[in-house]
């Protein structure tokens, strides 16, 4: 545990809070009044500051822009009925943040410094946390390389920034998903497990093609054979097959989701069996055909629990039971919401309270 983090706070002279329409939030379009910034140079993190949200100046020669030495995290803060504010499992994000950093030859941030930085910015903008059901404050910590250098080599200087966005649901209807069997998001030995910006840049072209075909999300398959399910564009893929929760193992090609881990823990709590194992496209099709695919959903911070309405594979579309009739994902969503909004005991210690 380091000492209390020294953060200089400069508040805005003109809050945008009053003019923000909290009933029409589009994910990621509305930013709160402030942001946290810090610099890395000479082998240490320094200059932690909370400043009014706004533009930053960087050199056009920074290696983040040229070579993608950049990654991010996604976390949510919730307002409880009694006014308390909590951040959901940020310790898991701190760990993944540092895994991403290591994979990209970037400096790590001590877990307690990361947690204190989140708590500090959320505290300053706590009035920006929406209170409506399904709403929260999305926290976007990210880091990028700032050396002005066009040689391909790890930068020696970096910037860490935390932005906040009040958000509603990321997906508003059951997802029409397409199983992608041509393009690849990541391969063994690659950086699929890291939340590196490049993973998302590379996914946009196949995702755009899928959107043009009328789909909401892709389900990626393995790079070698395109035979096994990996994950979705912005969430982990989870299924209930014949009463068992089944999800691909979080090895090095997929993101080790915090929501995925939470769902697995809740399944254990409910006494529902869980298998982390390979799921083939053929198995999905077969179980969708014979009625054994009880449930399918994306699990993610932005996505929360996003029901899959239909799956398109091998030229055919398979429709699932209406989300309201699915026992498992409905129960998970209800239980998760109750914990996050402080309406049920937090038996696993998932809520990190912002004092």
Backbone angles phi, psi at 323, to 5 degrees: -50, -40
Please choose which of ligand PLP, ligand COI, none residue 68 contacts, taking the beta carbon within 5 to 8 angstroms, the exact cut-off set by kind.
Answer: none
Q: Which is nearer to ligand PLP, 141 or 257 (CB)?
A: 257
- The least CB distance from residue 28 to ligand COI, in Å, is 7
- The least CB distance from residue 259 to ligand COI, in Å, is 8
- The least CB distance from residue 301 to ligand PLP, in Å, is 3
- The least CB distance from residue 94 to ligand PLP, in Å, is 12
Token digits for 232?
Answer: 């979705």
Please choose which of ligand PLP, ligand COI, none residue 192 contacts, taking the beta carbon within 5 to 8 angstroms, the exact cut-off set by kind.
Answer: none
Interface positions with ligand COI (CB under 6 A): 74, 234, 300-303
* Under 8 Å between Cβ of 82 and 342: yes
CA distance linking residue 26 with residue 28, whole number of Å: 6
Q: Which is nearer to ligand COI, 118 or 281 (CB)?
A: 118
Q: Which is nearer to ligand PLP, 129 or 258 (CB)?
A: 258
* Under 8 Å between Cβ of 160 and 190: no
Token digits for 208?
Answer: 């755009």
Q: Which is nearer to ligand PLP, 141 or 300 (CB)?
A: 300
Please choose which of ligand COI, ligand PLP, none residue 250 contacts, taking the beta carbon within 5 to 8 angstroms, the exact cut-off set by kind.
Answer: none
Q: Which is nearer to ligand COI, 50 or 302 (CB)?
A: 302
- The least CB distance from residue 257 to ligand COI, in Å, is 8
* Under 8 Å between Cβ of 227 and 166: no
- The least CB distance from residue 240 to ligand PLP, in Å, is 18
- The least CB distance from residue 302 to ligand COI, in Å, is 3
Token digits for 303?
Answer: 């996505």
Please choose which of ligand PLP, ligand COI, none residue 86 contacts, taking the beta carbon within 5 to 8 angstroms, the exact cut-off set by kind.
Answer: none
Token digits for 10?
Answer: 């400069």
CA distance linking residue 165 with residue 251, whole number of Å: 30
Tell me which residue has its CB nearest to ligand COI: 74
> Which residues does 290 contact at the CB level (< 8 Å), separation at least 6?
none
Q: Which is nearer to ligand PLP, 176 or 260 (CB)?
A: 260
What's the angle, vertex CA 218, arms to CA 223 and CA 334, rounded to 5? Answer: 120
Backbone angles phi, psi at 64, to 5 degrees: -60, -40
Token digits for 23?
Answer: 């009933």
Please choose which of ligand COI, ligand PLP, none residue 236 contacts, taking the beta carbon within 5 to 8 angstroms, the exact cut-off set by kind.
Answer: ligand PLP
* Under 8 Å between Cβ of 117 and 141: yes
Note the helical H segments in 70-174. 90-103, 111-124
How far, rounded to the nearest angstrom, does the alpha carbon of residue 344 sit from its chain's CA centroid? Answer: 23
Please choose which of ligand PLP, ligand COI, none residue 307 contacts, taking the beta carbon within 5 to 8 angstroms, the exact cut-off set by kind.
Answer: none
Q: Which is nearer to ligand COI, 124 or 302 (CB)?
A: 302
* Under 8 Å between Cβ of 191 and 199: yes
Interface positions with ligand PLP (CB under 6 A): 74, 231, 234-236, 255, 257-260, 299-301
């Amino acid at each position: 545990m380091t000492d209390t983090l020294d953060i200089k706070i400069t508040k805005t002279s003109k809050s945008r809070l009053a003019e923000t329409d909290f009933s029409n939030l589009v994910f990621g379009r509305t930013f709160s009044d402030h942001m946290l910034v810090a610099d890395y140079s000479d082998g240490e993190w320094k200059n932690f500051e909370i400043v009014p949200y706004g533009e930053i100046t960087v050199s056009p020669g920074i290696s983040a822009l040229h070579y993608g030495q950049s990654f991010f995290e996604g976390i949510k803060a919730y307002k409880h009925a009694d006014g308390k504010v909590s951040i959901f499992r940020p310790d898991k994000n701190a760990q993944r943040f540092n895994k991403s950093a290591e994979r990209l030859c970037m400096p790590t941030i001590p877990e307690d410094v990361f947690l204190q930085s989140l708590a500090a910015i959320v505290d300053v903008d706590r009035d920006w946390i929406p209170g409506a059901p399904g709403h929260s404050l999305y926290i976007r910590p990210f880091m990028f390389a700032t050396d002005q250098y066009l040689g391909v080599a790890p930068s020696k200087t970096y910037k860490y920034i935390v932005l906040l966005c009040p958000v509603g649901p990321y997906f508003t209807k059951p997802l029409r998903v397409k199983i992608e069997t041509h393009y690849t998001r990541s391969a063994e030995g690659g950086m699929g497990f890291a939340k590196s910006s490049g993973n998302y840049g590379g996914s946009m072209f196949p995702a755009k093609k899928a959107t043009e075909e009328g789909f909401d999300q892709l389900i990626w398959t393995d790079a070698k054979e395109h035979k096994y399910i990996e994950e979705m564009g912005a969430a982990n893929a989870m299924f209930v097959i014949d009463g068992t929760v089944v999800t691909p193992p979080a090895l090095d090609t997929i993101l080790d989701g915090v929501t995925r881990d939470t769902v697995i823990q809740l399944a254990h709590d409910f006494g529902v069996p869980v298998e982390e194992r390979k799921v083939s496209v053929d198995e999905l099709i077969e179980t969708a055909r014979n009625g054994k695919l009880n449930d399918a959903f994306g699990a993610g911070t932005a996505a929360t629990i996003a029901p899959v309405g239909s799956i398109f594979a091998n030229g055919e579309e398979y429709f699932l039971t209406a989300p309201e009739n699915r026992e498992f994902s409905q129960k998970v969503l209800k239980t998760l919401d109750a914990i996050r909004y402080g309406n049920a005991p937090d038996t696993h210690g998932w809520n990190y309270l912002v004092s």
